[in-house]
């Protein structure tokens, strides 16, 4: 056990699974870095260094640098999964899903259903999401609601280094296609992470705080903001439960409903664009299944329905902040 | 000043940095007997009473209810009636000054808490925590099925005030190796003895809880010369009965709610099962190899729904001082098993405690261990 960053936790998960299972391979743009170019072999390890060190240990055969052609290499990963490997492919930014979406939603997500349940597609697609990196509207989106919409895909949004390692190992061992979303401003977050391999099951929400007054459901980076708010408000006499669903598909609806039934108040915090996102989905779920338990209208904390601004000032205003979450919690708590 | 005793925030478990005062049980000017409850402290893991180490008078409550304070901070002052208020004020001022200086120095030096270490016990990596120092045989604490060295969080620090005390993680548990081999009592007790050898301990006072009790007893039968005394806490190995719903439930539980329900069976007061306790056990159970280890151990020591090793009648073969401690409300192994021992073995049945009697009645259990060690 030692402190590890979000980046190290994912790297360790990949390395341990590659040691355990020779069918696990890693592929993506600059995953090793420097393929075919003179100089350092293990130059980049992906654009933010998550796969660094894998190529020297596992070799070119298992750590593949791909051309800048998502449609080709995501398709190759899906095909490799259907024919016996366990590829972990890196779609550098989730914003690029448009060029490889058929391979994901109509191929990987459907093989099991098109081939009489006899085909498995154990591919993991790692991808960076989220605003706050000053990367403008084409490299800052969340887009996980789009994957969540597709039956046949599993969608994972880890909220901390411990979560990231256990969920990544689970993703690699899972026989279905898994989309694994990594928030680009969380890579340096640190916490205690066991050295041994471990798995966290999909479809089981984590309660990062337990309280009596308000339930906050949040995803990825927003879990940290919500924890911060819960700790602050606990000192003011408002106690919050914070639910981190961990996976949007499968979604642990039981835990969300149980928590809302206990507290009677719900705030959903979602960094994805507000139309048809996880906040609307969970609000609809609770309105339909637990309306009688509600003591106040549901509040959603989301960005506005606009592309992520490039202006740093506007980008900061765009992202759901702890202040906005706190205001929403206070509002539903009747303050 | 020797008649003034500070009561400080205890340290329960390695991760505890601070605690919150829930409720005072003894008011200012109140008499309290040794072992009497002074106040309740809540941590993220558990709520427990701080017991008085002395007979005496509680002169001053320094910490208010609701206050959250670091480990070692002054909570209260006990002193005899003839000590003046001014002397108590001076004591508090001096204590706080020293405490702050020591805390700053410890932070500067990066020192303070004892760290667990991993040793090689005849090829098996065993994680253990050493606390305290003393001449003579140390105390070795052995947890039960599914537990780890932190189960002794209310015992080890207190016993370590006067003794060298080791708490270890059994194979397949905590941070020790997850390969348990045959997983039977013989192999587990062999690993315990190898651990003693690796630590160059020629003689130890063994205290084992549940499965750990059976392991201690087996070790004493195998090498009586190496065991100075035996304290068997809610011990396996004395009778045939075991609540298999608990064992199977614990091995199976992968979800928070299941785990919480399973753990509640361990305590007389199920409210003691906290979110952090559940989460820590889930983290342990998610590790690769743990399910296999637990299944292997349960499949041999609790084969066919009963205890495979009943050794209580063999206690008379030993000259080793031995005692049995049980919680009257134990739902895992019935307290009636305490009677399955020779008359020379004193049995202590503690009311208001379940299977985790060493947590729920820590003060009494600590006193009994101290007593047998002093014999």
pLDDT tens profile B324-341: 999 999 999 999 999 988
Q: Which of A161, A193, A225 is the C-terminal boundary of a domain?
A: A193
B344/A149: higher pLDDT:
A149
Beta pairing, strands A63-65 & A24-28: parallel
Domain ranges of chain B: 4-109, 117-374
Nearest Cα of chain A lies from the Cα of B288 at a distance, in angstroms, of: 5
Is A200 a domain residue?
no
Nearest Cα of chain B lies from the Cα of A184 at a distance, in angstroms, of: 26
Contacts of B178 in chain A (CB under 8 A): 196
Tokens, residue B89: 């004020």
Nearest by Cα to B356 from B237, B262, B233, B243: B233
Per-residue pLDDT of chain A (335 residues; tens, 9 = 90+): 789 999 999 999 999 999 999 999 999 998 887 555 555 677 778 888 899 999 989 998 999 999 999 999 999 999 999 999 999 999 999 999 999 999 999 999 999 999 999 999 999 999 999 999 999 999 999 999 999 999 999 999 999 999 999 999 999 999 999 999 999 999 999 999 999 999 999 999 999 999 999 999 999 999 999 999 999 999 999 999 999 999 999 999 999 999 999 999 999 999 999 999 999 999 999 999 999 999 999 999 999 999 999 999 999 999 999 999 999 999 999 98
Q: How far apart are CA B115 and CA B159, in angstroms?
A: 17
**A9, A12, A162, A198, best to mutate vs chain B, most B CBs in 10 Å:** A198
> Chain A residue with minimal CA distance to B291?
A198
Give the three-class secondary structure for A216: strand
> Chain B residue with minimal CA distance to A211?
B275
- Asked if B286 and A210 come within 8 Å (Cβ–Cβ), the reply is no
Q: How many domains, in total, are found in chain A? A: 2
Tell whether A308 and A213 lie within a shared domain.
yes
- Asked if A198 and B275 come within 8 Å (Cβ–Cβ), the reply is no
Q: How far apart are CA A153 and CA A178, in angstroms?
A: 6
Is domain B117-374 annotated with CATH 3.40.50.1820? yes
Contacts of A194 in chain B (CB under 8 A): 283, 287
Q: How far apart are CA B350 and CA B365, in angstroms?
A: 9
Nearest by Cα to A271 from A124, A145, A154: A145
Contacts of A198 in chain B (CB under 8 A): 283, 286-288
Nearest by Cα to B165 from B126, B206, B195: B206
- Strands (DSSP E) contained in B250-345 are 322-327
User: Residue A277 CA to chain centroid, in angstroms?
Assistant: 14
pLDDT tens profile B103-152: 777 777 665 678 899 999 999 999 999 999 888 899 999 999 999 999 99
Nearest by Cα to B11 from B63, B61, B55, B48: B48
Tokens, residue A285: 């779920």
Assess whether the region B4-109 and the region B117-374 belong to the same CATH fold. no
Q: How far apart are CA B209 and CA B215, in angstroms?
A: 9
Structure-token match 């702050």, residue found: B100
- Asked if B286 and A207 come within 8 Å (Cβ–Cβ), the reply is no
pLDDT band at B239 (very low <50, low <70, confident <90, very high): very high
Nearest Cα of chain B lies from the Cα of A12 at a distance, in angstroms, of: 14
Is A92 a domain residue?
yes
Neighbouring-strand partners of residue A63: A26
> Chain A residue with minimal CA distance to B255?
A204
Q: Which helix (H) or strand (E) holds B216?
A: helix B211-222
Q: How far apart are CA A156 and CA A144, in angstroms?
A: 9
Q: How far apart are CA B294 and CA B298, in angstroms?
A: 6
Helix ranges (DSSP H) in A67-110:
70-82, 101
> Chain A residue with minimal CA distance to B66?
A235
Tell whether A65 and A28 lie within a shared domain.
yes
Nearest Cα of chain A lies from the Cα of B220 at a distance, in angstroms, of: 33
Tell whether A17 and A160 lie within a shared domain.
yes
Tell whether A232 and A313 lie within a shared domain.
yes
Is the per-residue pLDDT at B226 higher than 90? yes
pLDDT band at B1 (very low <50, low <70, confident <90, very high): very low
Q: Which of A135, A170, A193 is the C-terminal boundary of a domain?
A: A193
Do residues B141 and B169 lie in contact, with contact meaning Cβ atoms separated by under 8 Å?
no
Do residues A232 and A326 lie in contact, with contact meaning Cβ atoms separated by under 8 Å?
yes
Structure-token match 């809880």, residue found: B209
Judged by average pLDDT, the poorest of A109-118, B6-15, B181-190 is B6-15
**ipTM entry:** 0.86
Contacts of B110 in chain A (CB under 8 A): none
Q: Of B255, B256, B287, which has the smallest distance from its Cβ to A198's Cβ?
A: B287
CA distances A332 to A67, A261, A283, A327, Å, are 50, 15, 14, 9
Compute the radius of gyration of chain A from its Cα atoms: 20
Tell whether A221 and A186 lie within a shared domain.
no
- Asked if B178 and A196 come within 8 Å (Cβ–Cβ), the reply is yes
Q: How far apart are CA B309 and CA B307, in angstroms?
A: 6
Q: Which of A148, A164, A193 is the C-terminal boundary of a domain?
A: A193
The range of the structural domain enclosing residue A141 comes to 2-193
Half-sphere exposure of A9 toward its Cβ, with a 13 Å CA cutoff? 30
Do residues B198 and B222 lie in contact, with contact meaning Cβ atoms separated by under 8 Å?
no
A165: CATH: 3.40.50.970
Tokens, residue B221: 């039968």
For residues B313, B318, B322 and B324, what is the CA-based torsion angle, rounded to 10 degrees?
-10
Q: How far apart are CA B217 and CA B185, in angstroms?
A: 10
Residue-level length of chain B? 375
Specify the pLDDT at position A157: 98
Specify the pLDDT at position A38: 57
Close Cβ partners of B280 (under 8 Å, ≥ 6 residues apart): B45, B150
CATH architecture entry for B4-109: Beta Barrel (2.40)
Tell whether A152 and A282 lie within a shared domain.
no
Close Cβ partners of B212 (under 8 Å, ≥ 6 residues apart): B141, B142, B143, B144, B147, B170, B233, B235
CA distances A265 to A213, A231, A238, A260, B239, Å, are 7, 17, 12, 6, 51
Specify the pLDDT at position B2: 59
Residue-level length of chain A? 335
Give the three-class secondary structure for B343: coil
> Chain B residue with minimal CA distance to A241?
B275
Q: How many helices (H) and strands (E) does chain B have?
A: 10, 16
- Strands (DSSP E) contained in B15-103 are 18-24, 31-32, 37-42, 47-51, 56-61, 68-70, 74-79
Is A177 a domain residue?
yes
Tell whether A127 and A61 lie within a shared domain.
yes
Chain A residue set in contact with B, beta carbons under 8 Å: 1, 162, 166, 194, 196-201, 204, 206-207, 210
User: Residue B204 CA to chain centroid, in angstroms?
Assistant: 17
Q: Of B255, B275, B286, which has the smallest distance from its Cβ to A198's Cβ?
A: B286
Q: Give the residue-averaged pLDDT of B161-171.
A: 96
- B256–chain A Cβ distance below 8 A for any pair: yes
pLDDT band at B281 (very low <50, low <70, confident <90, very high): very high
Tell whether A178 and A240 lie within a shared domain.
no
Tokens, residue A182: 């990594």
A139 a catalytic residue: yes
Tell whether A57 and A97 lie within a shared domain.
yes
Nearest by Cα to B1 from B62, B98, B72, B90: B90
Tell whether A69 and A181 lie within a shared domain.
yes
């Amino acid at each position: 056990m030692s402190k590890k960053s979000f980046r190290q936790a994912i790297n360790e998960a990949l390395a341990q699974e590659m040691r355990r299972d020779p069918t696990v391979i890693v592929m993506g743009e600059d995953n090793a870095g420097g393929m075919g170019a003179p100089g350092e072999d293990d130059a980049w390890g992906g654009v933010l260094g998550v796969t660094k060190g894998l190529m020297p240990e596992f070799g070119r055969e298992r750590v593949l640098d791909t051309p800048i052609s998502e449609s080709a290499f995501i398709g190759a990963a899906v095909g490799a999964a259907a024919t016996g490997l366990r590829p972990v492919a890196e779609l550098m930014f989730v914003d690029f899903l448009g060029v490889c979406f058929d391979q994901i939603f109509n191929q990987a997500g459907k093989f099991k259903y098109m081939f009489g349940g006899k085909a498995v597609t154990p591919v993991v697609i790692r991808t960076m999401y989220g605003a706050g990196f000053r990367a403008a509207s084409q490299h800052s989106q969340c887009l996980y609601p789009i994957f969540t919409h597709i039956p046949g895909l599993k969608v994972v949004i880890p909220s901390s280094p411990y979560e990231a390692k256990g969920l990544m190992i689970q993703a690699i061992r899972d026989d279905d296609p898994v989309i694994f979303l990594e928030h680009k401003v969380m890579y340096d977050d640190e916490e205690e992470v066991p050295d041994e391999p471990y798995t966290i099951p999909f479809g089981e929400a984590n309660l990062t705080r337990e309280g009596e007054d308000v339930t906050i459901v949040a995803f990825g980076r927003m879990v940290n903001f919500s924890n911060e708010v819960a700790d602050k408000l606990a000192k003011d006499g408002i106690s919050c439960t914070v639910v981190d669903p961990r996976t949007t598909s499968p979604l642990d609806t039981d835990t969300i409903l149980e928590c809302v039934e206990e507290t009677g108040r719900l705030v959903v915090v979602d960094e994805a664009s507000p139309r048809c996102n996880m906040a609307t989905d969970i609000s609809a779920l609770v309105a339909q299944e637990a309306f009688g338990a509600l003591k106040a209208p549901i509040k959603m904390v989301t960005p506005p329905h606009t592309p992520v601004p490039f202006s740093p000032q506007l980008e900061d205003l765009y992202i759901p902040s702890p202040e906005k979450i706190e205001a929403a919690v206070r509002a539903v708590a009747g303050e | 000043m020797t008649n003034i005793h500070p009561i400080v925030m205890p340290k329960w478990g390695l991760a505890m940095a601070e605690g919150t005062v829930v409720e005072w049980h003894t008011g200012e000017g109140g008499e309290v007997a040794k072992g009497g409850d002074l106040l309740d402290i809540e941590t993220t893991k558990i709520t427990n009473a701080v017991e008085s180490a002395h007979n005496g008078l509680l002169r001053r409550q320094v910490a208010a209810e609701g206050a959250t304070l670091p480990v070692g901070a002054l909570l209260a002052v006990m002193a005899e009636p003839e000590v003046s208020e001014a002397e108590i004020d001076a004591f508090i001022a001096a204590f706080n000054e020293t405490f702050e200086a020591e805390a700053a120095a410890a932070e500067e030096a990066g020192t303070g808490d004892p760290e667990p270490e991993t040793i090689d016990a005849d090829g098996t990596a065993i994680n253990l925590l050493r606390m305290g120092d003393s001449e003579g045989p140390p105390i070795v604490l052995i947890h039960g099925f599914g537990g780890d060295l932190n189960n002794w969080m209310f015992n080890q620090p207190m016993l370590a005030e006067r003794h060298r005390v080791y708490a270890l993680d059994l194979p397949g548990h905590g941070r020790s190796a997850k390969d348990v081999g045959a997983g039977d009592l013989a192999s587990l007790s062999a690993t315990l003895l190898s651990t003693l050898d690796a630590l160059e301990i020629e003689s130890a006072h063994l205290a084992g809880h549940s499965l750990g009790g059976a392991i201690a007893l087996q070790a004493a039968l195998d090498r009586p010369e190496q065991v100075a005394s035996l304290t068997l806490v809610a011990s396996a190995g004395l009778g045939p009965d075991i609540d298999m719903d608990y064992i199977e439930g614990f091995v199976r539980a992968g979800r928070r709610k299941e785990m919480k329900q399973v753990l509640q069976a361990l305590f007389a007061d199920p409210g003691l099962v906290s979110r952090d306790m559940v989460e820590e056990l889930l983290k342990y159970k998610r590790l690769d190899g743990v399910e296999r280890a637990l299944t292997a151990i349960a499949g041999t020591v609790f084969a066919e729904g009963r205890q495979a090793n009943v050794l209580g009648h063999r206690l008379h073969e030993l000259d080793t001082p031995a005692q049995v401690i049980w919680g009257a409300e134990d739902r895992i192994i019935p307290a009636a098993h305490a009677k399955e021992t020779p008359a020379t073995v004193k049995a202590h049945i503690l009311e208001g405690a379940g299977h985790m009697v060493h947590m729920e009645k820590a003060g009494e259990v600590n006193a009994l261990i101290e007593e047998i060690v002093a014999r």
